[in-house]
Amino acid sequence: MSLPIQAEKVGTLPYSALASPETNKKRGFRRLMLCIGILIVVHAFTSIDCCKEYLRSIYRKRENEQLCSQYDVLIPDNPLWKTVGDSIGTEEFKGRAVDWLSGAIRVPTESYDDLGPISEDPRWQTFGQFHDYLTKAFPLVHSTLSLTKINNYSLLYQWTGTDSSLKPVLLAAHQDVVPVEPRTATEWSYPPYSGHFDGTRIWGRGASDDKSGLIGLLSAIEILLEGGFEPERTFVLAFGCDEEASGHFGAQQLAKAMLEIYGRNGFAFIVDEGGDISEHYGTVFAAPGVAEKGYLDLRVDVTSPGGHSSIPPTHTSIGILSRLLVEFENNPFPVEMSTNSVFYGTLQCYAGYGKTIPSNLRKAIVRSAYSKKALKRLSDMLFMNPANVALVGTTRAIDLIQGGVKSNALPEQAYAVVNHRVSTLSSVAEVIERDTDTLKALAGTFNLTFISFGETISDAEAPRAYGSLIFSDAFNNSLAPAPVTPTSGSKARAYELLSGTIQATYNAHRGLEHDSHNIVVAPAMPAGNTDTRYYWDLSDGQILRYNHRNSIAFKNMASGVHTVDENLPIDALLEMIRFFTTLILNTSESRRV
């Protein structure tokens, strides 16, 4: 007896197995033709220039975001932002801004490396005059904010917010300027402390570094107060008096006072002077400083027997010192590109958004992320420029030298000071060790007892040693490299807020669409140190060195920072004021920092 076929089991067979050979052949042909058709369409699409360009743009955009991700534009949710912004664009406000900065420049708050204690050195007294000026220039600031003077001449303001649960934010600047060299005073286009305004630029010492930052900040607060603004978050302003002379009397004392008042990590984040706006490879970049190099002033002392110069030895102490210094210059610190360096992050942004970046440089940057060979090639390309070497590696500069007292007397002692800027990937201890190793052999050649920071390195027998070589910290102000501020991830909220603020400011100042991306924000590292060297304990690694100075506005004219003809375009000052108003409004209403 035959059993019926079970349909469900037949249905489990492959479809092609149930069809005739002829049917299967037709279906196979149709599939082949479909595949060929798809290939023809894809080839045609990718062969058309506009289509190829479209595909490239999509790929490039994704690659750019991977290289250098950008945060959203952050526009304050406060109608006062537009009101204040419109005011900044008026001729009346422009006149006020000129007067504010010009008046500040006219008070010569010079700081010197050899300044004595504040209670003893009369050169400090000019800062009292500057404080009197600020009180008159910004009446609402001084009637609303509390002010404490630290160590007589450093200023600590508090603008108390309405919500005490929010961590305060520290905004910093410095009052002092580098001295004007008397011999160069006549070389200035306008007297260095005139604060002259020529219709476009404000001239004078401090116009750019850093009275514009201090005045820009106070101006922003003054006009916000005029608009009736009350912050939800507390803002603290710290203005040191000797940043240009390492900050011992100013920022160091401010740090101690703030640590006592606000506690360790008491601030959500810190903003001080630093990176600016500039153009690279056809693209406008903002460069907030997220790290600082370390610092060491190495004093190199050489001693040898004195006597009459008519009977000279083969080498005097000055001759020996000179040879030792040449050895330093002949053996610079090795420099190597690292994907962990801040400069590498800057390069990634150049590769991601530089419109005119050379293709070979862009290719090397992109490939260097996963290829040591490409990283080496990138190093070879970039380190032909000494400025790039200085950004990445540890540097030495022989800046001071002294020796001898009489032309016919052998110098018994000579010394030099060698300034080091320590790579963020190194340490002060590593620098001392390398310096010691560099001169160890020469110390033996000259029969010198070599003592490096209290440790005897080569101990020639005292009666037989010709002299000595001693390493020490010249001014006791060595500094480790600063902690690097996060720029991505959950700890990058301060950087995110700053990035959004920069973009909003840039767009508003130029009348561009508020939410469009017209400036690229790239992490960077300033060449020098700021007062934040003393503020590390005040914030959990959230230090941003940026005051929105638009370097492009100089239009090929030097800013004159630390030299002749220091100046600042008035439009750059107005944009700085707009930046600080935007930063304060955004920070006050933010709950993410």
Residue ranges for the known binding site are 174, 209, 244, 272, 562
Q: Is the dihedral of CA 583, 584, 588, 589 positive or negative?
A: negative
Strands (E), 181-324: 201-203, 235-240, 270-280, 283-286, 294-303
| Cα 192 to Cα 180: distance, rounded to the nearest angstrom | 7
Q: What are phi and psi of 223, to 5 degrees?
A: -75, -30
Say how many C-beta atoms besides its own lie within 10 A of residue 87's C-beta. 17
| Cα 438 to Cα 435: distance, rounded to the nearest angstrom | 5
Question: Which residue ranges make up the annotated binding site for Zn(2+)?
Answer: 174, 209, 244, 272, 562
419 beta partners: 297, 397
| Cα 480 to Cα 293: distance, rounded to the nearest angstrom | 7
Contact in structure between 300 and 418 (CB atoms under 8 Å): yes
Angular region, 511: left φ>0, alpha ψ -120 to 50, beta rest: left
> Residues with catalytic annotation?
176, 243
Helices (H), 383-427: 386-392
Tokens describing residue 172 = 């910093």
Give helix 570-589 / helix 80-88 axis angle, nearest 10°: 170
Tokens describing residue 160 = 């108390």
CA 212 to chain centre: 17
| Cα 50 to Cα 179: distance, rounded to the nearest angstrom | 59
Find out whether the peptide bond into 163 is cis, omega within 30 degrees of 0: no
3-state helix, strand, coil in the chain (%, to 5): 45, 20, 40
479 beta partners: 295
290 secondary structure, DSSP code? -
Helices (H), 420-521: 428-445, 493-510
Which of 211, 238, 244 has its CA nearest to residue 154?
238
- What contacts 24+ positions apart, CB below 8 Å, involve 139-143? 140/221, 140/222, 140/225, 140/226, 141/218, 141/221, 141/222, 141/225
How many Cα atoms occupy the beta-carbon half-sphere of 484 within 13 Å?
14
How many Cα atoms occupy the beta-carbon half-sphere of 424 within 13 Å?
27
Q: Is 331 exposed, middle or buried (0-12, 13-18, 19+ CB in 10 A)?
A: middle
3-state secondary structure of 54: helix
Question: Which amino acid, residue 77?
Answer: D
Pairing relation of β-strands 467-473 and 448-452? parallel
* DSSP codes of every residue in 536-567: GGGBTS-EEEEEEEEGGGGTT----TTSTT-E
163 secondary structure, DSSP code? -
208 secondary structure, DSSP code? T
